[in-house]
């Protein structure tokens, strides 16, 4: 098995080593109209295969392999090796397609750096799999540092993958150039931030309670700190200093101000009497941000409707978070009585949906929808469908972390206790003790009743004897 894995990994290294040679291939741009960045030709089969290979490798295999690596699963190496081979195949396909043509773009320029990181991961993975520390003291000393580097790159690689996939979508459509770059970056960064917030909230909900216990902080402390820091950045970067202020500058700068102001209050309320406490400030900030975004005036009707839907979704996420913390949990920990309530999945999902809606609402995409006659409702349903898929993948990765590798034994013990309705874990031992206690109490009660009956019978016999 090890020999097969090393052979596969070695093949991936060889292919990755030759991958930069593909950069020498030049795309033809004769068919691209003037003032455009892509041709009007359709995407051909080879390019579709490139998209499929890269989506599988960077969008599914590598994030899944990262989770398996964190749990020390034996499936980590096979899955990552398969992903590396797919990535190399997709890289070569990207330089041998026909059909649609592209001018130089950020997706193509960023690709060599992504492949370089991938090559480094594969090389380090092969080195660690050889276990050279058993043969040399030097390798034994280096292993700890190399394992740390391998783990660090592995953890940030899903973020790199997400960025490159986004660049690919923009390059395929010819978006985010020149004057459109600023607003496009804003939509991409802010939308991705909401998705990341939803993912982190899901992680803390399902498996993050031990981390919070170790830090002796409530989740609102970290949420408020990040919101405050993000608000400081937005306050000073949304307006181009030295130019006239416009309505967009006022809107975005004011949101930055309320974020850092609310962040300060959220941090202060997250601790009371030396103990971590919950508060509703992060949820309230999300609600107010959604309300502000829902009222932003846009140039196109389809854009106004989509931004309004985004705002309403964000408002719903904030309101759901407030209800969860204040009324469902009553300021207690994220998990009530060891069980996750179905309502608690709503805030992180709505955050993911908000991020997808905002990423899909850049002005060039809105202009395209308006030109081809696609209404906002249909487009919104498509974006919500994508949100369902992404949130499902997030939940699958969290569940995989809980049930694979070194965490599998704990999961088996939990499942050994049985499963109750709605998927809640049923503690058989606790139920047995409760049943024995109930039988004991019932037995004692029956015994008392028998004693009372015998006493009455003796009284009757005594009375009859006297008579």
* Segment 156-204, tens digit of pLDDT: 999 999 999 999 999 988 888 888 888 888 899 999 999 999 999 999 9
Distance CA 348, CA 393 (A): 13
Distance CA 181, CA 168 (A): 15
Residue 181's H or E segment, with its range, is helix 181-206
In this model, does residue 420 exceed pLDDT 50? no
Q: What pLDDT sits at residue 458? A: 57
For residues 248-274, give the mean pLDDT: 89
DSSP-derived 3-state class of residue 339: strand
Count of C-beta atoms within a 10 Å radius of residue 14: 11
1 and 53, same domain (yes or no) = yes
Residue 326's H or E segment, with its range, is none
Per-residue model confidence as pLDDT tens digits over 18-31:
555 444 445 566 67
28 and 92, same domain (yes or no) = yes
Q: What pLDDT sits at residue 211? A: 85
Distance CA 231, CA 190 (A): 12
306 and 341, same domain (yes or no) = yes
Number of domains in the chain: 3
108 and 214, same domain (yes or no) = no
165 and 265, same domain (yes or no) = no
Pairing between β-strand 271-272 and β-strand 275-276 as defined by DSSP bridges: antiparallel
Domain that holds residue 65: 1-174
393 and 437, same domain (yes or no) = no
Is position 270 within any domain? yes
178: left (phi over 0), alpha (psi -120 to 50) or beta: left
Name the domain boundary from 174, 202, 220. 174
Q: What is the model's pTM?
A: 0.83
Residue written as token pair 């846009």: 298
Phi, psi dihedral angles at 129 (to 5 degrees): -70, -25
The CATH number for 19's domain is: 1.20.1420
340 and 445, same domain (yes or no) = no
pLDDT band at 433 (very low <50, low <70, confident <90, very high): low
Written in H, E and C, the secondary structure of 190-229 is: HHHHHHHHHHHHHHHHHCCHHHHHHHCCCHHHHHHHHHHH
Could you tell me what percent of the chain has a pLDDT over 90? Answer: 52
Written in H, E and C, the secondary structure of 247-265 is: HHHHHHHHHHHHHHHHHHH
Count of C-beta atoms within a 10 Å radius of residue 131: 12
Per-residue model confidence as pLDDT tens digits over 366-388:
999 999 999 999 999 999 999 99
For residues 67-88, give the mean pLDDT: 94
Nearest to 259 by CA among 326, 190, 308: 190
Is position 83 within any domain? yes
Per-residue model confidence as pLDDT tens digits over 111-144:
999 999 999 999 999 988 888 877 777 777 888 8
Distance CA 241, CA 244 (A): 8
DSSP-derived 3-state class of residue 277: coil
Name the domain boundary from 393, 410, 427. 410
162 and 262, same domain (yes or no) = no
- What does pLDDT average to over the chain? 83
244 and 310, same domain (yes or no) = yes
16 and 83, same domain (yes or no) = yes
Q: What pLDDT sits at residue 446? A: 46
Higher pLDDT, 238 or 105: 105
Is position 462 within any domain? no
Is position 459 within any domain? no
231 and 371, same domain (yes or no) = yes
Residue 53, classified by CB atoms within 10 Å of its CB into exposed (0-12), middle (13-18) or buried (19+), is buried
Q: What pLDDT sits at residue 452? A: 53
Quick check: 267 and 222 in contact, CB under 8 A? no
In this model, does residue 7 exceed pLDDT 80? no
Is position 461 within any domain? no
Is position 52 within any domain? yes
In this model, does residue 17 exceed pLDDT 80? no
Phi, psi dihedral angles at 276 (to 5 degrees): -70, 135
Could you tell me what percent of the chain has a pLDDT over 70? Answer: 80
In this model, does residue 15 exceed pLDDT 80? no
Is position 329 within any domain? yes
134 and 219, same domain (yes or no) = no
Half-sphere exposure of 167 (CA within 13 A, CB side): 17
First to last CA, the chain: 96
Q: Which of 108-117, 281-290, 333-342, 450-459 has the lowest mean pLDDT?
A: 450-459
Is position 394 within any domain? yes
pLDDT band at 273 (very low <50, low <70, confident <90, very high): confident
Distance CA 446, CA 51 (A): 74
For residues 335-352, give the mean pLDDT: 86
């Amino acid at each position: 098995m090890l020999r097969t894995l090393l052979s596969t990994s070695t093949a991936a290294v060889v292919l990755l080593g030759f991958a930069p040679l593909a950069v020498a291939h030049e795309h033809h741009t004769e068919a691209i109209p003037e003032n455009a960045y892509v041709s009007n030709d359709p995407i051909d089969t080879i390019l579709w295969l490139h998209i499929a290979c890269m989506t599988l490798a960077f969008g599914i295999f590598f994030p899944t392999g990262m989770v398996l690596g964190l749990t020390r699963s034996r499936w980590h190496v096979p899955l990552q090796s398969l992903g590396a081979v797919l990535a190399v195949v997709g890289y070569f396909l990207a330089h041998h397609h026909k059909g649609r043509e592209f001018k130089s773009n950020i997706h193509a320029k960023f690709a060599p750096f992504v492949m370089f990181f991938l090559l480094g991961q594969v090389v380090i993975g092969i080195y660690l799999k050889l276990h050279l520390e058993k043969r040399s003291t030097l390798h034994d000393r280096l292993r700890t540092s190399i394992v740390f580097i391998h783990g660090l790159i592995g953890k940030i690689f899903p973020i790199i993958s997400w960025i490159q996939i986004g660049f690919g979508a923009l390059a395929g459509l010819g978006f985010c150039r020149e004057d459109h770059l600023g607003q496009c970056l804003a939509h991409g960064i802010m939308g991705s931030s909401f998705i990341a917030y939803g993912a982190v909230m899901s992680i803390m909900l399902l498996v993050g309670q031990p981390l919070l216990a170790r830090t002796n902080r409530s989740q609102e402390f970290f949420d408020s700190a990040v919101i405050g820091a993000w608000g400081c950045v937005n306050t000073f970067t949304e307006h181009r200093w030295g130019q006239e202020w416009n309505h967009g500058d006022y809107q975005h700068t004011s949101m930055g101000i309320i974020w850092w102001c609310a962040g300060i209050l959220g941090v202060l309320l997250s601790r009371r009497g030396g103990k971590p406490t919950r508060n509703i400030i992060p949820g309230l900030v999300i609600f107010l941000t959604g309300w502000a975004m829902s009222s932003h005036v846009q140039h196109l009707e389809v854009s106004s409707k989509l931004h309004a839907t985004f705002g309403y979704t964000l408002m719903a996420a904030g309101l759901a978070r407030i209800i969860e913390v204040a009324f469902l949990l009553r300021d207690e920990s994220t998990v009530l009585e060891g069980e996750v309530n179905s309502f608690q999945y709503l805030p992180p999902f709505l955050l993911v949906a908000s991020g997808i809606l905002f990423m899909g609402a850049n002005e060039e995409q809105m202009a395209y929808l308006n030109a081809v006659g696609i209404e906002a409702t249909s487009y919104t349903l498509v974006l919500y469908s994508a949100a369902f898929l992404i949130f499902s993948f997030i939940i699958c990765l969290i569940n995989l972390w809980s049930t694979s590798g070194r965490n599998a034994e704990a999961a088996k013990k939990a499942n050994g206790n049985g499963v109750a309705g709605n998927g809640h874990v049923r503690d058989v031992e606790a139920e047995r003790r409760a049943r024995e206690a109930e039988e004991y109490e019932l037995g004692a009660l029956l015994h008392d009743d028998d004693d009372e009956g015998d006493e009455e019978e003796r009284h009757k016999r005594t009375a009859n004897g006297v008579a």
